[in-house]
Structure 1
């Protein structure tokens, strides 16, 4: 068999039910009539058991569920947007607080540095004053020692001069005068 013959045989077999519809329409041998009656009977059964209202109710429930889901999604979206806006506000507040803390820390650091500088200057001034006081005290000690040494030398020299000079009562008066003169010069 050729290819065209095979295709013709398939079409002929497919058209065979159409030949069954030949003849009077209201006959049980007519497939169109049987199919029409079966279809009307099927529709009647559907209407008798209220299948369209059941299907409609199911579709309405499904539509209500979808509406509820959409409303819930809208509500969740709004909550998410509010939460996002809240987080953005909080982030801006935290950034502002961080900037304030940094500025405050810088101010405190510069204040502490300035105070440390002033404390260092005061410490240096105290140490210089203490050193000057020590130098002054050492100078005063040195002057006192020199005076004491000079007084001792003067008394010793006066004693030798007087020993070589005269009597005891004259020496005693000269010693008193010499001591008084040395005391007047030292004070």
Structure 2
């Protein structure tokens, strides 16, 4: 209470009424009435414990704000964990995608190499088949030429023998020539 009276005295001393003539503690002085009303108002506030109620409300509000801040901090940490989790997943997925691409490239290169090898083998087979056909055609041509040469030589020999040999010797000479040609061919 001493503090209140000290405050009231300091307020009274600083007012223009203190400089004015006449008594300050008169009910005709409006400054004194305002001071009394203010002191009664402050007394009523203290009597009904309004400052402690306001302090309690402010403490409750501060506790609510603190809880909200703690909740916000917890939610922020949770969000950061979720974000970090998504970043890890994204990196894992990116790694898997890179691995899939690398595997696809390796498989494509292997398939291309296999296709090249298969093409090379196919070309070699076809070349071999063509060479075999050419060799077979050459053999057939050589046989055909030999057969024609043999037929021509038999015909020429027959004509020569027919001109040189008499009619009776012809059949014996022809038989001998045919047997000789047959032996040579086989």
When normalised by structure 2's length, the TM-score is 0.72
Q: Which runs of 5+ in 1 are unaligned?
A: 1-14
SS at match of 2:132: helix
* Mapping of residues 82-161 of structure 1, within 5 Å: 82-161=81-160
8 Å Cα contact 2:161/2:170 also seen in 1: yes
8 Å Cα contact 1:21/1:29 also seen in 2: no
* Paired position in structure 2 for 1:11: none
1: CA distance, partners of 2:64 / 2:182: 123
* Paired position in structure 2 for 1:166: 166
8 Å Cα contact 1:28/1:34 also seen in 2: yes
Q: Which fold has the larger relative contact order, with Cα–Cα distance below 8 Å and residues 6 or more apart in sequence?
A: 1
The number of residue pairs the alignment matches comes to: 171
Provide Cα deviations, 1:41-88, integer angstroms capped at 9, x if missing partner.
213443566544553453234223312321221122112211221132
Q: Which runs of 5+ in 2 are unaligned?
A: 1-14
* Paired position in structure 2 for 1:4: none
2: CA distance, partners of 1:21 / 1:131: 142
8 Å Cα contact 2:17/2:24 also seen in 1: no
Aligned CA RMSD, in angstroms, stands at 3.0
* Paired position in structure 1 for 2:28: 29
When normalised by structure 1's length, the TM-score is 0.71
2: CA distance, partners of 1:46 / 1:173: 168
